[in-house]
């Protein structure tokens, strides 16, 4: 743990948990040597148990579920070390802590799944990172392969692929999403430059004797020569703007506080890479349109993605303040987004047309026999359920995908418009 900040939220949670002697996420004191495969304590749902079993199967393990479903007996495996390195839902493999269990301990937030840089920017509709790690394993992706997420959003697929040594091509129509995804995965390359610019940037935050020339924070950010370090500070500003708009926090305090936590999270990421000697995947994240992917036919080893759930969330409206801050015209940018154009039935029809094109593009760029995982749910619009899941399955099968798994995933309280989402695993046959 670095000394960058002393009293971060996760630390308080950690202290409290120590007092209570109860918090699962960080308890590495005792390594139960006799436990062959022990699930992480946060695994609670049936879909998670299903994914845990699928990831074992995909890694060629023969196993038996024992003891209240939380412990698995390992009957046969070719490579124990591989399990320790890759598994997403397990805490121990034959008494040794998994890499994932060690990674999630690097957390500066109160939320167990917002470890490392995942927390940066409060984006609505983020994937559960643990599930993505499992899905990358299940689809057989490994070191040197390339995964595509044509709706990269806040970059969850990118971070998880990077950690597993899988190259990731992330595309999103929203420049805010591209920025988030880049910052989460690229800031580790420029931590010294980020630290070097900290004083120069923070002194612009509050007018003082040292800032007599009246330069703004933007002026200082624009002076940063390194693009990745510049992106880091642009993001830090957006996080503070969001804190100010959504939670009413005073901008300069929010900026200074978030900046410290962001720097600490990047430093955590670097520490865990060193500790576990991780070989990272290469990242290629850019703005683009899922309906016309800038990729050659059959060039991708796997797809893991979550498109807009029909019209459940207006991504343009939701991030309006940040998109404006980045200099975009909202009505112009809206034209490119899936699921936010038109009204009433027209909106649903346009969504379906856009999704058909996106599915065709996914099919075109995927290599034969490889998998595309699409996480999607039905939304309720004007009192009626829009059957997006059925639509996706029908159209994907029409163009040549085969549905090989359909896992129900119950979700709680997402804007009151969704109750269930599905993990659809398609194979290009
Ligand atoms: C459900 S979110 C993805 C969330 C992501 N899985 C995560 O973990 O943050 C859907 C994303 O689709 C993006 N999107 C909408 N229309 C698009 C288009 N035409 N091409 C690419 N991305 C688009 C939105 O900006 C949004 O980020």
* Tokens linked to 387: 């059957």
CB 422 within 8 A of CB 375: yes
For 305, counting Cβ atoms within 10 Å of its Cβ (0-12 exposed, 13-18 middle, 19+ buried), the class is buried
Q: What is the reported pTM?
A: 0.92
Triad 344, 350, 355: Cα angle to 5°:
130
Average per-residue pLDDT in the chain?
89
291 lines ligand 1 (CB under 6 A): yes
For residue 173, the 8-state DSSP code is S
Of the ranges 31-35, 140-144, 335-339, the best mean pLDDT one: 140-144
pLDDT of residue 208: 52
Mutate to test the pocket of ligand 1, among 124, 315, 317, 358 (most ligand atoms within 8 A of CB): 315
**Dist. CA 172 → ligand 1 center (Å):** 6
**Dist. CA 205 → ligand 1 center (Å):** 32
Triad 85, 87, 91: Cα angle to 5°:
95
Mutate to test the pocket of ligand 1, among 119, 155, 172, 417 (most ligand atoms within 8 A of CB): 172
pLDDT of residue 401: 98
Q: Tell me the C-alpha distance between 316 and 57, whole Å.
A: 40
421 lines ligand 1 (CB under 6 A): no
Which residue in 102, 97, 104, 134 sits closest to 118, CA to CA?
104
For residue 152, the 8-state DSSP code is -
pLDDT bracket for residue 2 (50, 70, 90): very low
pLDDT of residue 258: 95
61: helix, strand or coil: coil
How do 90-93 and 96-97 pair as beta strands?
Answer: antiparallel
**Other beta carbons within 10 Å of 13:** 18
pLDDT of residue 24: 54
Q: Give 202-211's long-range contacts (Cβ < 8 A, gap of 24+).
A: 202/255, 202/256, 202/259, 205/252, 205/255, 205/256, 206/252
Q: Tell me the C-alpha distance between 332 and 382, whole Å.
A: 26
294: helix, strand or coil: coil
Q: Tell me the C-alpha distance between 110 and 68, whole Å.
A: 28
**Dist. CA 75 → ligand 1 center (Å):** 41
CB 202 within 8 A of CB 259: yes
Which residue in 311, 306, 308, 287 sits closest to 417, CA to CA?
311
The full DSSP string for 189-223 is: G-HHHHHHHHHHHHTTTS--GGGTT---HHHHHHH
**Dist. CA 124 → ligand 1 center (Å):** 11
Q: Report the b/e string of 114-149 with b at 16+ CB within 10 A.
A: bbbbbbbbebebbbebbbbbbbbbbbebeeebbbbb
| Chain centroid, CA 186 distance in Å | 14
pLDDT of residue 368: 98
pLDDT of residue 213: 56
Lowest mean pLDDT among 105-114, 209-218, 282-291: 209-218
Tell me which residue has its CA closest to atom 3 in ligand 1: 153
Mean pLDDT, residues 58-69 taken together: 89
Q: Any idea how long the chain is? A: 429
| Chain centroid, CA 193 distance in Å | 25
Question: Over the stretch 181-227, which tens digit does the pLDDT of each residue have?
Answer: 999 999 999 999 999 999 999 988 865 555 555 568 888 899 999 99
| 340 pLDDT above the threshold of 70 | yes
Which residue in 132, 162, 126, 134 sits closest to 269, CA to CA?
162
Q: Tell me the C-alpha distance between 192 and 1, whole Å.
A: 18
Lowest mean pLDDT among 256-260, 328-332, 370-374: 328-332
160 lines ligand 1 (CB under 6 A): no
312 lines ligand 1 (CB under 6 A): no
Class level of CATH domain 129-185+280-428: alpha beta
89 lines ligand 1 (CB under 6 A): no
132: helix, strand or coil: helix
Q: Report the b/e string of 337-361 with b at 16+ CB within 10 A.
A: bbbbbeeeeebbebbbebbbebbbb
Lowest mean pLDDT among 128-132, 310-314, 356-360: 310-314
The full DSSP string for 319-349 is: THHHHHHTT--HHHHHTTSTT-SSSHHHHHH
| 323 pLDDT above the threshold of 70 | yes
| 149 pLDDT above the threshold of 60 | yes
The full DSSP string for 74-130 is: EEE-S-HHHHHHH-SSEEEETTEEPHHHHHTT---SSSTT-TTTTTSS--TT---HH
Lowest mean pLDDT among 94-108, 214-228, 290-304: 214-228
pLDDT of residue 3: 40
| Chain centroid, CA 146 distance in Å | 16
Question: Over the stretch 388-413, which tens digit does the pLDDT of each residue have?
Answer: 999 999 999 999 999 999 999 877 65
């Amino acid at each position: 743990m670095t000394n960058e900040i002393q009293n971060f939220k996760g630390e308080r949670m950690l202290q409290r948990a120590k007092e209570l002697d109860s918090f699962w996420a960080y308890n590495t004191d005792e390594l139960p040597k006799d436990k062959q495969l022990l699930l992480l304590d946060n695994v609670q749902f049936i879909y998670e148990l299903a994914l845990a079993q699928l990831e074992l199967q995909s890694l060629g393990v023969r196993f038996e579920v024992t003891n209240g479903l939380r412990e698995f007996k390992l009957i046969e495996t070719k490579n124990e070390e591989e399990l320790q390195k890759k598994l997403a839902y397990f805490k121990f493999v034959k008494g040794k802590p998994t890499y994932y269990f060690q990674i999630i301990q690097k957390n500066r937030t109160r939320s167990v799944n917002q470890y490392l840089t995942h927390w940066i920017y409060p984006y609505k509709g983020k994937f559960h990172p643990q599930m993505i790690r499992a899905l990358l394993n299940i689809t057989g992706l490994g070191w040197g392969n390339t995964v595509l997420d044509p709706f990269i959003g806040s970059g969850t697929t990118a971070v998880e692929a990077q950690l597993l040594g899988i190259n990731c091509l992330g595309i999103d129509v929203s420049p805010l999403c591209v920025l988030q995804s880049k910052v989460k995965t690229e800031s580790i390359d420029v931590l010294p430059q980020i630290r070097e610019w900290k004083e120069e940037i923070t002194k612009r935050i509050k007018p003082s004797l040292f800032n007599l020339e009246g330069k703004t924070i933007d002026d200082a950010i624009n002076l940063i020569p390194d693009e990745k370090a510049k992106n880091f500070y642009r993001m830090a500003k957006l996080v503070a703007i969001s804190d100010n708009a959504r939670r009413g926090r005073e901008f300069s305090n929010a900026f200074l506080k978030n900046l410290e936590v962001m720097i600490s999270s990047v430093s955590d990421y670097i520490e865990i890479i060193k500790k576990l000697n991780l070989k990272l995947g290469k990242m290629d994240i850019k703005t683009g349109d899922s309906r016309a992917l800038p990729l050659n036919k059959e060039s991708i080893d796997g797809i893991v993605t979550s498109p807009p759930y029909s019209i459940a969330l207006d991504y343009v409206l939701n991030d309006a303040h940040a998109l404006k801050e980045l200099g975009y015209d909202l009505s112009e940018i809206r034209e490119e987004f899936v699921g936010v154009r038109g009204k009433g039935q027209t909106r649903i029809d346009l969504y379906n047309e856009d999704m058909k094109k996106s599915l065709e593009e996914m099919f075109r760029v995927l290599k034969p026999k490889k998998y595309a995982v699409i996480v999607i749910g039905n939304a309720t619009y004007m009192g009626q359920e829009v059957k997006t899941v059925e639509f996706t399955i029908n159209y994907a099968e029409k163009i040549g995908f085969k549905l090989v798994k359909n896992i129900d995933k119950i979700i709680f309280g997402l804007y009151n418009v969704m109750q269930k989402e599905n993990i659809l695993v398609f194979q290009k046959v």
